[in-house]
């Protein structure tokens, strides 16, 4: 069994925030693969289904981002899922909008949701990093991720959600590189034009915490 986790903040006021793209991606997976309806459990909402012949539990922790690990740990204990069978989908400011990377293990890069998951289950889980872009200055990060996607973002946001759901079976099977390639191929027509990069997207620089968001 695998546990797929989407990160976000609860409440209607946050539903369309950049910080909630993990929730959006998980919802797309649940809908595309016709999971059962979400039910309240583990301080969150969980839906179950099958992808590539494997049983999957899809979890949205309905606690604030910096407390996500508690919900993840509860679900992992209940389903007896080890950390290396957990996939976390989350926003990533150190990737350009619409870009995606898969990472297994390693640090949390200052993301408070991941930091809290690390504290509860350790680092040995898989992350699907969904790029939402960086505002350019550290002090603007909180405002950036807690604002809604704008109309100009809609094509690439819908594109990446559809692509992640369509090709998620590859990730379930452990084929991370093909999953990333397929998503990148599907995104070619809808990606926004990229500004010159000031950093290395494959290895984001360390950053300070994002004030509990």
CA distance 122 to 106: 10
Contact indicator for 73, 19 with CB cutoff of 8 Å: no
Gap between the Cα atoms of 189 and 50, Å rounded: 30
Which residues carry out catalysis? Answer: 19
Contact in structure between 27 and 6 (CB atoms under 8 Å): yes
Residue 128 token pair: 């699907």
| Beta carbons of 202 and 96 less than 8 angstroms apart | no
Which residue bears the tokens 């986790």?
5
User: Tokens for 74?
Assistant: 């509860």
Helical ranges in the chain per DSSP H:
21-32, 68-79, 112-121, 141-145, 154-172, 176-187
Point out which residues pair with 5 in neighbouring strands.
59, 88
For residue 125, how many other CB atoms are within 10 A of its CB?
24
For residue 165, give Cα distances in angstroms to 28, 170, 211.
6, 10, 30
């Amino acid at each position: 069994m695998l546990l797929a986790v989407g990160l976000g903040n609860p409440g209607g006021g946050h539903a369309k925030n950049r910080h909630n793209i993990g929730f959006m991606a998980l919802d797309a997976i649940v809908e595309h693969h016709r999971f059962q309806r979400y039910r309240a459990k583990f301080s969150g909402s969980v839906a179950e289904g099958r992808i590539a012949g494997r049983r999957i539990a899809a979890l949205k922790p309905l606690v604030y981002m910096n407390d996500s690990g508690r919900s993840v740990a509860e679900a992992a204990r209940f389903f007896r899922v080890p950390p290396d069978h957990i996939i976390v989908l989350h926003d990533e400011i150190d990737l350009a909008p619409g870009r995606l990377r898969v990472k297994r293990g390693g640090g949390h890069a200052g993301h408070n949701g991941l930091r809290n998951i690390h504290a509860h289950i350790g680092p040995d889980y898989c992350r699907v990093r969904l790029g939402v872009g960086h505002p350019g200055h550290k002090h603007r990060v909180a405002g950036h991720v807690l604002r809604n996607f704008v109309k100009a973002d809609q094509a690439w946001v819908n594109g990446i959600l559809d692509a992640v759901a369509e090709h998620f079976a590859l990730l379930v099977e452990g084929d991370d590189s093909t999953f990333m390639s397929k998503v990148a191929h599907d995104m070619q027509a809808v990606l926004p034009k990229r500004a010159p990069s000031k950093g290395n997207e494959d290895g984001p620089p360390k950053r300070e915490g994002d004030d509990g968001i």
